[in-house]
Amino acid sequence: MIITILIFLLILGLLVFVHELGHFLTAKKFGARVEEFGFGLPPRAFGVQLFRAAEMQKVAEEDTVTVQVGGRQNVFGAEIVEEKVTEKIREIDVIKPVKKWRFLGRGYDTSKNEKDPTVYSLNWIPLGGFVKIKGEEGGVANEPDSFAGKPIWQRAVILVAGVAMNFILAAMLLGIGFGIGLPQALSESDPVHATIRDRNTQIVQVLESTPAAETGLRAGDIILSIDSQEIQSENFLRSYIEARERQNISLKIKRDNQTLDFAAAPIVLKQTGKPGLGISFVETGIVSYPWYLAIWKGLLAAGFYAKEIVAAFYQLIKNLIIHQNVAMDLSGPVGIAVMTGRVARLGFIYLLQFAALLSINLAIINVLPFPALDGGRLLFLAIERLRGRAMNQRIESWAHTVGFALLMLLVLVVTYRDIARFSYKFMELWQRLIN
């Protein structure tokens, strides 16, 4: 459990760091002053700052002197009787600008020292991070290094940069995964230029009120054998089940790291009109590509996942508005941490894929037009563009404050549900600590 929490915090820290890095780099690019780049959430543990200082240094200078005796040097080639060359070295004190790091305490106010460079801080709450940009909350719009004083398009780019960085990170992680090898459904023809290993037949759906559901089969289970026979192909498995209506058949299943045995008798399913157990299955394998194809595959996969997540959010909001209910499970930090532990047990490749999905989720949530999110700030920029002048700062600040409070309330509600759902995990952790 402790390892799970550490992995979760590392993944969350990476995703938020990359997101805030997008804001940081674009703000610097457009000349907006970044007051603080924080790792974790306040209160601050300590901070460091790279600043310019004046330092006295000794510098040695060499002077070369030519001494001529007995003759004269000229451009017409007059004869020189004697010539002496000497070097004189002298030391002088000069003041040179140098860059130095200094440590700052928790009480240092980044907004009061206008000319000081960015503070890089480490904060006590290990959940993500933040970037504090001058003028981000409004005000000082007449100053050239203020966020509020930048053109609308530059402010929009700074806000969108975090979302873009999360998408780029997801594409990179998936690209690395496709290079190493990611689990993938296989069609009748193998992918071109790909290497396939660990072929399996995996259950992707279990219908309710069917023999499979009653016997305890789950989506994600890998079918190792049927009646002690290896699975030769999808067609073989389908034909074998259809030919044994109401006959008990045994299945050897791999679930996580366990091997389990199940027994069930196929019946005629109303969905298909044929004998079956009530499962949908597909042949899967670990597929790896050459690096030049892996990069492209990672980008395509990131786009596909983004489209699916957007569709899921649309369905979620639609059900919430029309039916006043949520048709799917929502998970907060606790639920995601539990899922992280489950995925980590499957292996590094699955964890890589999971981190990419979380990164895309973070990007899409942030771009939603809701106050306190990047999308909400973009909405106010769009209104400013249409009106020809900025919104009243008090109204915008109030909207973001209320939006943030509602988001925190949602997080608390979802977290409470997660704790109730996964309470056994906390009991296991407590028993390990006291034993």
Q: What is the CATH number of the domain that holds 202?
A: 2.30.42.10
If asked whether residues 391 and 425 sit together in one domain, one would say: yes
pLDDT at position 327: 47
Per the CB < 8 A criterion, the answer to whether 147 and 32 are in contact is yes
The structural domain count of the chain equals 2
Residue 8 reports pLDDT greater than 80 = no
Question: Are residue 207 and residue 282 in the same domain, yes or no?
Answer: yes
CA 186 to chain centre: 28
Asked if 415 and 375 sit in the same domain, the reply is yes
Give the pLDDT score at 433: 44
Is residue 428 very low, low, confident or very high in pLDDT (cuts 50, 70, 90)? low
> Alpha-carbon distance 408 to 400, whole Å?
12
Q: Are residues 310 and 282 in the same domain?
A: no
What pLDDT, on the 0 to 100 scale, is given for residue 155? 92
pLDDT at position 329 over 80: no
| Residue finishing a domain among 237, 254, 288 | 288
In a domain, 205, yes or no: yes
pLDDT at 26: 94
Q: Which residues pair with 196 in a beta bridge?
A: 287
92 occurs within a structural domain: no
Q: Let me know whether 216 and 311 are in one domain.
A: no
Is the same domain home to 244 and 311? no
Are 259 and 345 in a shared domain? no
Give residue-wise pLDDT tens across range 339-379: 666 666 667 888 888 888 889 988 988 888 888 888 989 99
Assess whether 254 and 298 both reside in one domain: no
Q: Are residues 216 and 278 in the same domain?
A: yes
User: Exposure pattern of 314-327 as b/e (b: 16+ CB <10 Å)?
Assistant: eeeeeeeeeeeeee
End-of-domain residue from the set 258, 288, 318: 288
Q: Tally Cβ neighbours within 10 Å of residue 135.
A: 20
Q: Domain ends where: 288, 303, 325?
A: 288
Say what the pLDDT of residue 76 is. Answer: 44
Within a domain: 339: yes
Tally of residues, the chain: 435
Q: Is 396 within the bounds of a domain? A: yes
User: 275 preceded by cis ω (within 30°)?
Assistant: no
Q: Note if the pTM is more than 0.75.
A: no
- Asked if pLDDT for residue 270 goes beyond 70, the answer is yes
pLDDT at 328 over 90: no
Give 3-state DSSP helix, strand, coil % of the chain, rounded to 5: 45, 30, 25
**Is the residue at 22 inside a domain?**
no
| DSSP strands (E only) in 312-381 | none
Average confidence (pLDDT) over 292-317? 86
Q: Tell whether the model's pLDDT for residue 163 goes beyond 70.
A: yes
102 within a domain of the structure (yes/no)? no
Residue 74, pLDDT above cutoff 50: no
| Sign, Cα dihedral of 165, 166, 172, 173 | positive
* 226 and 329 fall within a common domain: no
401/372 Cα distance (integer angstroms): 7
Average pLDDT in the chain:
78
Residue pointed to by tokens 């973070």: 362
The answer on 414 and 280 residing in a single domain is no
Domain membership of residue 249 (yes or no) is: yes
Is pLDDT at 1 greater than 70 in this prediction? Answer: no
If asked whether residues 372 and 384 sit together in one domain, one would say: yes
In a domain, 40, yes or no: no
Query: How far from 407 is each of 129, 217, 366, 371, 412, CA to CA, in Å?
Result: 17, 37, 12, 9, 9
- Cα dihedral 369, 372, 377, 380 sign: positive
Query: Which of the residue ranges 86-100, 212-226, 304-318 would you say has the lowest mean pLDDT?
Result: 86-100
Helix (H) or strand (E) holding 93: strand 82-104
Rounded distance between C-alpha atoms, residue 101 and residue 231, angstroms: 63
- The pLDDT tens digits of the residues spanning 252-267 come to 888 877 888 888 888 8
Give the range of the structural domain holding residue 251, as residue numbers without chain letter: 183-288
